[in-house]
């Protein structure tokens, strides 16, 4: 697939929830692994130009990432597979909650006409237990910076979060079909950044747990309403503890306080409470007259409102907090995501390029090293017969003729004898015309061997090659090159190699590179 | 033609390609000690969002300057026609194969390129340069000479005397070691050549600086991410109910260390990619990674904190104590400090030990089964060591230009010597920065509030990394 395929989507994904953005981001990162950095820069800079002003706050980072993902992710891509799958999971969880609620209702409000439904049990199950669970949830929700100071609290937190219903989603996911493909890749991807997503995960679990609880209550209320509609439920209370009617009244009054103004008929009075008390030992059959039975039915309003206020309402608040927290944590995770930094810079950074767009071309793939006798460079050579050679000082080495002759032959007498025939000059400041003159002169002379004194430190040029070839074509039988070291130094191995390559490249059998040089 | 164009020309083998490689941060350019490496012009456009601001051209060196000059002289009657004569020369010999190098290198100049003439200041001036400088003058294009010394630069003054006669501006520039700010200076100098180019070059300089800053920020993020992933890493393995966990511990520790080595390696490759080193050859073999091995703990004090500093960090008192006592002075009375910290922090033994992390066995809910886990590292020096090594690698990389072709070497022995000479990275921080860093590192080591720590560390690293781009001040 080509990168440009990704930029033109028929139906861009909505990505309205931050959690969707997190999921989409991880997907996109997974997808982008196939592209080179250059391709990504190309693709993203194009998108970036459409996004407007430069991002300069963390919020901008979040918005840019979201908008970038909106342009990239396809509705029918693998991402939506993962999302659909996640939705299925949510539905399964909701169904579970609903079922659990219904079962609880059936168990708690189980009334066979013989035995009254014990109000104390109902209150304990629908309000007490729920409030306790809410408090525990709150403990889990506390951020680490508060719990640190209370000894034992962090570990209690860890333990509680294990019991947290949301925690089980991970387990359920494994049992559902479809786990293998998209979702698995995604969760692996996210596990690599455990530190980034640990809080997101915590809030996902908590949020799931609140949804589960809300579904539970929905099931509970629904079943209760059905039971009330199609059955007459007689409530009563009974306890082994010696409880006074007053204390029950106090409890119900406290409980009904939130709605005593709005729904006064749902506040049980002392008479109702007294009438509702029952003792099992008085015998199984306790005659209740119609009026009494009707009166006992009044409880249902109180019970439903209690469930709403002490079961549903706190859960709803917790759910809202969790949702908000989850959104915030998702945003934070995205802003702090190490890759997002890179994405935004790809989107916003001007693409600055200094590299060449065309491939390079070179004469040599690799430096060729000629196998030379390593000693030849260092060996002093003194054996040229000065009377049979012409010497050319190429490109005007800054040495007197006498000094130069010393390099060719160290016998002072011979050097002097040669003084009659001066060293010729070519290259350098001499014009090309003068060079041609010299070639003519040398070929007409008596010697058939020409020796060049060369600056070892300068690279050999093609014009010297031309000159040598012209000499060899004009009666000169042998040409030798002597490398002269820079003032105060020696000829380096690299320089010698460079000249040896030059000689080899010219391919003239009559051309030789003399070993050694003076200092 | 007003687009800024610069042809880097000169004698063969004087570092023309090296200069282009350094300025363009392109390491795909052929550079070798063999003269005549470059045979064709190669264009390096500097573009921002595909708008070209200037273009550098790498060219082959002069090979037959005197012969070409002779032709020019023979075909010219007046100073006014010199440029036209050069054009005539190109028309005559282009594609004939007679003056391949001269034709190739003169073409961009006649197209309007400014001349960047390169010489080597470590060898004496010679007469053979005169003809080529003459030809360049014939073109009438604005020109600048660069002295790129391949050795000691003993002849720089001599060269300046000569070049001053031919070129508007003469500058020294070392292709092998020019820091970012030197390169930017040189580009600004190019603007002097022609007023029409000034605006686009100034813009280019500004954009390049922005790009550099962005890269530095990316480097800071990459290093921080690596740091966090390494410190928080946990190596886990499922074990059944029966397997004796003791037998697995050494294997797990080995896996843990291998993860860390690989992660460090990956971090380095990422950094190299940011700075566009694509062909970097590294000295490495399967066993010996560059820089002494991450887990050779005797080097840890070299990379990370020394004992005295660690003691301060451990006692959580680096801010307070550091204000009064320099860490070095404290080192003398280390015994007392260590004692104090072990009383205060209760963990001095842990800091001095070779223990990286501890092994835990976790019972996995809900279906039973156990997991054995190694890590995360609680060793206080570990994050400092990772950071020290990453900064070292980045510094060596930044001191290297794209003209260098030798192996990137961070080997142990040289390394240790260099480190002794240079100021330790931690020491170069201000006192407040040190204590801020210590706090953040403590968060990493204790696994708390990591997301905030990440942002804090990036902020602290950015100036450290930016400082590497400046040439040392004498
Ligand atoms: N020490 C040192 N060596 C350098 C410097 N600049 C170039 N060199 C070396 O000089 C040699 C030639 O460099 P190149 O950049 O290929 O020279 P060039 O001018 O492009 O050569 P041709 O393409 O052959 O004309 C290479 O071996 C470089 O490593 C420098 O500043 N310092
Ligand atoms: Mg070259």
Highest mean pLDDT out of A54-63, A101-110, B76-85: B76-85
Task: Tally helices (H) and strands (E) across chain B.
Answer: 19, 9
pLDDT tens-place string over residues A388-399: 888 899 999 988
pLDDT tens-place string over residues A75-90: 556 667 767 777 787 8
The CB of B141 under 6 Å from ligand 1? The reply is: no
CA neighbor of B451 nearest in space, from B267, B231, B260, B228: B228
Does A99 have pLDDT greater than 80? yes
pLDDT band at A466 (very low <50, low <70, confident <90, very high): very high
The CB of B12 under 6 Å from ligand 1? The reply is: yes
Mean pLDDT of the B54-70 span = 95
Is there a contact between B65 and A353 if contact means CB atoms under 8 Å apart?
no
H or E segment and range at residue B93 = helix B82-93
Which of the pair, A7 or A280, is modelled with greater confidence?
A: A280
H-helix segments, A54-183:
58-72, 78-108, 119-123, 129-141, 144-147, 153-163, 168-175
How much of chain B exceeds pLDDT 90, in percent?
42
Is there a contact between B36 and A350 if contact means CB atoms under 8 Å apart?
no
Does A154 have pLDDT greater than 70? no
- pLDDT mean across residues, chain A: 78
Which of the pair, B448 or B258, is modelled with greater confidence?
A: B258
Question: Which residues, at least 6 apart from A143, have a Cβ–Cβ distance to it below 8 Å?
Answer: none
Q: Would the pTM of this model clear 0.90, i.e. be above it?
A: no
- pLDDT mean across residues, chain B: 81
Closest residue of chain B to A496, computed from CA coordinates? B34
Between residues 255 and 314 of chain B, which touch chain A (CB distance below 8 Å)?
273, 276
pLDDT score for A7:
40
CA neighbor of B59 nearest in space, from B47, B44, B74, B71: B44
Any bridge partners for residue B115, and if so which?
Answer: B7, B143
Does B34 have pLDDT greater than 80? yes
- The alpha carbon of residue B330 is apart from the nearest alpha carbon of chain A, in Å, by 32
Strands laid side by side in the A478-484 sheet: A424-426, A389-394, A449-455, A478-484, A511-513
Pair (B264, B133) in one structural domain: no
Highest mean pLDDT out of B13-22, B176-185, B423-432: B13-22
Q: Please indicate, yes or no, if residue B333 is contained in any of the structural domains.
A: yes
Does A62 have pLDDT greater than 60? yes
C-alpha to C-alpha distance for A13 and A78, rounded to whole angstroms: 12
Q: Are strands A235-236 and A117-118 parallel, antiparallel or unpaired?
A: parallel
pLDDT tens-place string over residues A309-339: 888 998 899 999 999 999 998 998 888 888 8
Q: Please indicate, yes or no, if residue B195 is contained in any of the structural domains.
A: no
pLDDT band at B327 (very low <50, low <70, confident <90, very high): very low
pLDDT score for B317:
47
Q: With beta carbons under 8 A apart, name residues in chain B contacting A338.
A: 221-222, 224-225, 454
Window from A224-228, A478-482, B40-44, B310-314 with minimum mean pLDDT:
B310-314
H or E segment and range at residue B459 = helix B450-467
pLDDT band at B314 (very low <50, low <70, confident <90, very high): low
Mean pLDDT of the A42-68 span = 85
**Domain-ending residue, one of B120, B144, B176:** B176
The CB of B182 under 6 Å from ligand 1? The reply is: no
pLDDT score for B349:
40
Pair (B321, B384) in one structural domain: no
The answer to whether the CB of A161 falls within 8 A of the CB of A140 is: yes
Pair (B72, B142) in one structural domain: yes
The CB of B150 under 6 Å from ligand 1? The reply is: yes
Pair (B446, B368) in one structural domain: yes
Does B407 have pLDDT greater than 70? no
pLDDT band at B345 (very low <50, low <70, confident <90, very high): very low
The whole domain housing B361 covers: 216-295+356-469
C-alpha to C-alpha distance for A452 and B201, rounded to whole angstroms: 47
Is there a contact between A354 and B25 if contact means CB atoms under 8 Å apart?
yes
Q: With beta carbons under 8 A apart, name residues in chain B contacting A196.
A: 451
pLDDT tens-place string over residues B189-232: 999 899 999 999 999 999 889 888 888 988 998 999 999 999 98
Window from B27-41, B109-123, B124-138 with minimum mean pLDDT:
B27-41
Q: Please indicate, yes or no, if residue B207 is contained in any of the structural domains.
A: no
With the C-alpha atoms ordered A150, A155, A158, A159, is the resulting torsion angle positive or negative?
negative
Q: Which atom of ligand 1 is nearest to the CA of B21?
A: 15
pLDDT score for A379:
55
Any bridge partners for residue A480, and if so which?
Answer: A451, A512
How many whole angstroms from B59 Cα to the centroid of ligand 2?
7
Pair (B279, B335) in one structural domain: no
Does B289 have pLDDT greater than 60? no
Mean pLDDT of the A348-364 span = 76
pLDDT score for A277:
73
Q: Please indicate, yes or no, if residue B146 is contained in any of the structural domains.
A: yes
Does B33 have pLDDT greater than 90? no
CA neighbor of A409 nearest in space, from A396, A397, A428, A423: A423
pLDDT band at A6 (very low <50, low <70, confident <90, very high): very low
pLDDT score for A270:
77
C-alpha to C-alpha distance for A370 and A358, rounded to whole angstroms: 31
C-alpha to C-alpha distance for A30 and A25, rounded to whole angstroms: 9
C-alpha to C-alpha distance for A450 and A481, rounded to whole angstroms: 9
pLDDT score for A280:
56
Q: Which ligand is nearest to the CA of B146?
A: 1
C-alpha to C-alpha distance for A124 and A303, rounded to whole angstroms: 11
Option in B12, B221, B273 nearest A459 (CB): B12
Q: Please indicate, yes or no, if residue B300 is contained in any of the structural domains.
A: no
CA neighbor of A211 nearest in space, from A19, A80, A78, A63: A19
Is there a contact between A351 and B48 if contact means CB atoms under 8 Å apart?
yes
- Take atom 5 of ligand 1 and give the residue whose Cα is closest: B150
Q: Please indicate, yes or no, if residue B69 is contained in any of the structural domains.
A: yes
- Take atom 16 of ligand 1 and give the residue whose Cα is closest: B31
Pair (B342, B371) in one structural domain: no
CA neighbor of B53 nearest in space, from B207, B160, B260: B207
Mean pLDDT of the A422-438 span = 90
Q: Please indicate, yes or no, if residue B371 is contained in any of the structural domains.
A: yes
Domain ranges of chain A: 3-75, 78-337, 369-514
Does A363 have pLDDT greater than 80? no
pLDDT tens-place string over residues A281-319: 554 445 556 666 666 667 788 888 888 888 899 889 999
Q: Print burial letters for A14-41: b (CB count within 10 Å at least 16), e (below 16).
A: ebeebbbbbbbbbbbbbbbeebeeeebb
Is there a contact between A357 and B208 if contact means CB atoms under 8 Å apart?
no
Is there a contact between B24 and A356 if contact means CB atoms under 8 Å apart?
yes
C-alpha to C-alpha distance for A373 and B236, rounded to whole angstroms: 60
Option in A45, A432, A457 nearest B123 (CB): A457
pLDDT tens-place string over residues B249-270: 888 888 999 999 999 988 988 8
Residue A432, token pair as written in the block:
């090309």
pLDDT score for B322:
39
pLDDT band at A414 (very low <50, low <70, confident <90, very high): low
Is there a contact between A37 and B273 if contact means CB atoms under 8 Å apart?
yes
Pair (B286, B317) in one structural domain: no
Pair (B335, B384) in one structural domain: no
Option in A350, A359, A463 nearest B64 (CB): A463
Window from A257-266, A334-343, A469-478, B404-413 with minimum mean pLDDT:
B404-413
- The alpha carbon of residue A503 is apart from the nearest alpha carbon of chain B, in Å, by 13
Mean pLDDT of the A436-465 span = 91
Pair (B91, B226) in one structural domain: no
C-alpha to C-alpha distance for A204 and A19, rounded to whole angstroms: 9
pLDDT band at A256 (very low <50, low <70, confident <90, very high): confident
Is there a contact between A195 and B450 if contact means CB atoms under 8 Å apart?
yes
Question: Which residues, at least 6 apart from A305, have a Cβ–Cβ distance to it below 8 Å?
Answer: A256, A259, A263, A266
Closest residue of chain B to A398, computed from CA coordinates? B126
Does B62 have pLDDT greater than 80? yes
pLDDT tens-place string over residues A22-39: 888 888 888 888 887 778
Option in B33, B124, B218 nearest A498 (CB): B33
Structurally, how many domains does chain B consist of? 3
- The alpha carbon of residue B378 is apart from the nearest alpha carbon of chain A, in Å, by 15
Which of the pair, A75 or A510, is modelled with greater confidence?
A: A510
Window from A50-64, A262-276, B117-131 with minimum mean pLDDT:
A262-276
The answer to whether the CB of A243 falls within 8 A of the CB of A278 is: no
The answer to whether the CB of A498 falls within 8 A of the CB of B34 is: yes
CA neighbor of A355 nearest in space, from B27, B48, B118, B273: B27
Look up the CATH number of the domain holding residue B24: 3.40.50.300
Pair (B266, B342) in one structural domain: no
Q: Determine phi and psi for A183, rounding to 5 degrees.
A: -65, -35
The CB of B41 under 6 Å from ligand 1? The reply is: no
- The alpha carbon of residue A286 is apart from the nearest alpha carbon of chain B, in Å, by 47
Does B329 have pLDDT greater than 50? no
The answer to whether the CB of A68 falls within 8 A of the CB of A343 is: yes
H-helix segments, B141-194:
156-166, 180-190
Is there a contact between B43 and A501 if contact means CB atoms under 8 Å apart?
no
pLDDT score for B199:
92
Does A188 have pLDDT greater than 80? no
The answer to whether the CB of B33 falls within 8 A of the CB of A498 is: yes
Distance of CA A275 to the CA centre of its chain: 68
Window from A474-488, A501-515, B277-291, B387-401 with minimum mean pLDDT:
B277-291
Pair (B37, B129) in one structural domain: yes
C-alpha to C-alpha distance for A283 and B410, rounded to whole angstroms: 94
Q: Which ligand is nearest to the CA of A364?
A: 1
- The architecture in CATH of the region A369-514 reads 3-Layer(aba) Sandwich (3.40)
pLDDT score for A91:
87
pLDDT band at A48 (very low <50, low <70, confident <90, very high): confident
Does B444 have pLDDT greater than 80? yes
How many whole angstroms from B397 Cα to the centroid of ligand 1?
20
Highest mean pLDDT out of A263-267, B107-111, B366-370: B107-111
Question: Which residues, at least 6 apart from B422, have a Cβ–Cβ distance to it below 8 Å?
Answer: none
pLDDT score for A172:
56
Q: Which ligand is nearest to the CA of A492?
A: 1
Residue A442, token pair as written in the block:
């040398």
The answer to whether the CB of A326 falls within 8 A of the CB of A141 is: no
Pair (B45, B25) in one structural domain: yes
Q: Determine phi and psi for A135, rounding to 5 degrees.
A: -60, -45
């Amino acid at each position: 697939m080509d990168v440009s395929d990704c930029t033109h989507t028929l139906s861009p994904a909505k990505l309205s929830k931050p959690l969707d953005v997190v999921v989409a981001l991880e997907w996109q990162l997974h997808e982008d692994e196939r592209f080179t950095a250059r391709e990504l820069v190309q693709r993203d800079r194009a998108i970036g130009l459409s996004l407007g002003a430069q991002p300069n706050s963390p919020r901008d980072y979040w918005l840019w990432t979201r908008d970038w993902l909106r342009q990239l992710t396809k509705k029918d891509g693998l991402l939506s597979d993962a999302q659909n799958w996640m939705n299925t999971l949510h539905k399964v969880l909701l169904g579970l909650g609903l079922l659990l609620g219904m079962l609880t209702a059936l168990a708690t409000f189980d009334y066979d006409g013989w035995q009254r439904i014990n109000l104390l049990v109902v209150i304990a199950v629908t309000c007490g237990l729920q409030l306790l669970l809410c408090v525990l949830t709150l403990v889990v929700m506390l951020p680490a910076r508060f719990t640190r100071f209370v000894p034992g609290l962090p570990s209690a937190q860890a333990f509680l979060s294990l019991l947290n219903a949301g925690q089980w989603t991970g387990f359920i996911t494994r049992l559902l079909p479809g786990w293998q493909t998209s979702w698995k890749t995604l969760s692996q991807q996210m596990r690599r950044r455990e530190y980034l997503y640990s809080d997101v995960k915590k809030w996902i679990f908590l949020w799931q747990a609140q949804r589960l609880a809300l579904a539970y209550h929905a099931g509970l209320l629904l079943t209760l309403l059905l039971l009330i509609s199609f059955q007459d439920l007689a409530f009563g209370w009974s306890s082994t503890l010696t409880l006074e009617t007053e204390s029950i009244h106090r409890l119900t009054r406290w409980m009904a306080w939130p709605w005593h103004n709005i729904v006064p008929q749902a506040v049980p009075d002392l008479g109702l409470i007294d009438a509702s008390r029952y003792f099992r030992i008085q015998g199984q059959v306790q005659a209740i007259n119609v009026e009494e039975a009707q009166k006992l039915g009044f409880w249902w309003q109180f019970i439903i409102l209690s469930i709403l206020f002490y079961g549903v309402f706190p859960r709803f608040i917790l759910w809202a907090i969790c949702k908000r927290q989850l959104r915030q944590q998702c945003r934070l995770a995205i802003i702090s995501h190490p890759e997002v930094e890179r994405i935004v810079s790809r989107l916003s950074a001007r693409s600055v390029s200094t590299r060449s767009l065309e491939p390079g071309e070179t004469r040599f793939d690799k430096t060729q090293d000629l196998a030379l006798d390593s000693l030849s460079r260092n060996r002093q050579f003194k054996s040229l017969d000065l009377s049979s050679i012409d010497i050319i000082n190429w490109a005007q080495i800054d040495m007197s003729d006498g000094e130069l002759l010393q390099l060719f032959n160290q016998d002072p007498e011979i050097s002097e004898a040669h003084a009659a025939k001066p060293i010729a000059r070519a290259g350098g400041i001499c014009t090309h015309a003068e060079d041609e003159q010299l070639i003519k002169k040398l070929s007409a002379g008596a010697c058939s061997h020409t020796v060049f004194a060369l600056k070892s430190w300068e690279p050999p040029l093609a014009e010297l090659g031309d000159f040598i070839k012209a000499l060899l074509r004009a009666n000169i039988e042998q040409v030798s090159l002597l490398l002269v070291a820079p003032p105060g130094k020696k000829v380096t191995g690299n320089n010698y190699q460079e000249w040896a390559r030059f000689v080899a490249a010219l391919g003239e059998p009559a051309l030789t590179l003399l070993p050694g040089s003076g200092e | 033609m007003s687009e800024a164009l610069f042809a880097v020309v000169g004698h063969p083998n004087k570092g023309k390609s090296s200069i282009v490689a350094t300025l363009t941060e392109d390491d795909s350019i052929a550079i070798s000690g063999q003269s005549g490496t470059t045979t064709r012009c190669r264009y390096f456009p500097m573009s921002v969002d595909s708008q070209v601001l200037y273009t550098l051209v790498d060219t082959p060196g002069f090979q037959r300057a005197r012969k070409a000059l002779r032709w020019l002289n023979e075909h010219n009657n007046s100073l006014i026609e010199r440029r036209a004569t050069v054009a005539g020369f190109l028309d005559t010999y282009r594609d004939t194969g007679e003056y391949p190098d001269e034709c190739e290198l003169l073409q961009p100049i006649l197209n309007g390129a400014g001349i960047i003439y390169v010489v080597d200041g470590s060898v004496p001036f010679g007469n053979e340069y005169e003809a080529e400088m003459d030809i360049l003058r014939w073109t009438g294009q604005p020109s600048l000479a660069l002295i790129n010394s391949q050795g000691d630069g003993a002849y720089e003054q001599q060269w300046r005397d000569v070049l001053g006669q031919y070129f508007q501006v003469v500058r020294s520039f070392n292709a092998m070691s020019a820091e970012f700010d030197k390169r930017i200076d040189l580009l600004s100098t190019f603007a002097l050549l022609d007023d029409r180019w000034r605006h686009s070059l100034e813009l280019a300089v500004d954009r390049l600086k922005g790009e550099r800053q962005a890269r530095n920020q990316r480097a800071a993020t990459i290093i921080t991410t690596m740091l966090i992933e390494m410190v928080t890493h946990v190596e886990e393995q499922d074990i059944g109910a029966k397997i004796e966990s003791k037998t697995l511990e050494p294997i797990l520790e080995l896996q843990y260390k291998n993860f860390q080595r690989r992660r460090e390696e990956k971090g380095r490759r990422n950094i190299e990619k940011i700075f566009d080193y694509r062909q970097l050859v590294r000295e490495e073999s399967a066993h010996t990674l560059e820089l002494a091995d991450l887990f050779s703990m005797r080097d840890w004090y070299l990379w990370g904190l020394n004992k005295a500093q660690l003691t301060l960090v451990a006692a959580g008192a680096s801010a307070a104590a550091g204000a009064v006592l320099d860490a070095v002075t404290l080192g003398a009375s280390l015994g007392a400090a260590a004692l104090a910290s072990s009383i205060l922090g209760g963990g001095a033994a842990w800091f001095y030990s070779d223990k990286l992390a501890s092994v835990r066995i976790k019972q996995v809910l809900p279906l039973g089964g156990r997991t054995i886990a190694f890590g995360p590292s609680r060793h206080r020096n570990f994050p400092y060591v990772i950071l020290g090594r990453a900064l070292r690698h980045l510094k060596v990389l930044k001191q290297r230009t794209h003209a260098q072709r030798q192996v990137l070497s961070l080997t142990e022995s040289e390394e240790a010597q260099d480190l002794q000479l240079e100021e330790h990275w931690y020491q170069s921080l201000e006192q407040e920065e040190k204590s801020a860093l210590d706090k953040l590192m403590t968060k990493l080591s204790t696994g708390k509030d990591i997301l905030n720590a990440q942002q804090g560390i990036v902020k602290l690293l950015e100036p450290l990394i930016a400082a590497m781009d400046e040439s040392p001040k004498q």
